Amino acid sequence: MSLKEQIQQRRPFASPEEEAYLNLQRTANLLFQAGAGVIKAAAPGRRGLTPSQYNVMRILRGASPEALTCGEISERLVTPGPDVTRLLDRLEERGWAERDRDVGDRRVVRSRITAAGLELLASLDEPVQSWLSESLGHLSREEQKSLIRLLERAREGVENLKV
């Protein structure tokens, strides 16, 4: 179904750019909501795990065994949030991440994923991958590669703006 039909818009879009942007927003929102549901369902005994926390944990796992500063984590976030420190506070409270002061510069705090965090992510890997396959697997590999290239090109346009 077209976006125009889904949102019951009677008038034409103002431009192809507007239609593309709104399609991207609608799709991203649907994927985000469904992904949040998958994370919540796959970790029922671990209430409160949000997509943002999941994202930070994946970043920490990817960097492991190295520890990262808040700034380094922030640079890698898929959907940047305003307060990485609070995300890390929650992860640390649950035992999924830990923080230490940098040996060379005591002002710098570095975070790493814990064994419990690695275990949690391992338990989420299969359900998340399954959901991704169900959500985007109907696209051929060539369509997926094309979509990736188009999204990368769209980001280039935004990153080159002088706003």
What pLDDT digit, counting tens, does each position of 16-43 carry? Answer: 999 999 999 999 999 999 999 999 887 7
pLDDT band for position 48 (50/70/90)?
low
CA distance linking residue 117 with residue 54, whole number of Å:
10
Coil vs helix vs strand at 113: strand
pLDDT of residue 104: 81
pLDDT at 44: 63
Could you give the CA distance from residue 107 to residue 118 in angstroms, rounded to a whole number?
27
Is the pLDDT at 147 greater than 80? The verdict is yes
Annotation: CATH topology of 31-126 = Arc Repressor Mutant, subunit A (1.10.10)
Residues in Cβ contact with 19 at an 8 Å cutoff, skipping those fewer than 6 apart: 3, 4, 13
Residue-range domain boundaries for the chain? 31-126
Q: For residue 42, what pLDDT is reported?
A: 79
Question: Is a pLDDT exceeding 90 seen at residue 138?
Answer: yes
Token pair of 75, please?
């640079």
Q: How far is CA 129 from CA 29, 52, 126, 136, 141, in A?
A: 18, 17, 5, 10, 16
- pLDDT of residue 110 exceeding 80, the answer is yes
Average pLDDT over residues 101-121: 90
Instruction: Work out the average pLDDT over 130-134.
Output: 95
What CA–CA distances, in Å, run from 148 to 35, 130, 134, 141, 152? 19, 19, 17, 11, 6
Tell me the pLDDT band of 73, cut-offs 50, 70 and 90. very high
Reply yes or no on whether the pLDDT at 102 is more than 80: no
Using DSSP's 3-state secondary structure scheme, residue 160 falls into: coil
Q: pTM to 2 decimals?
A: 0.85
What's residue 25's pLDDT?
A: 95
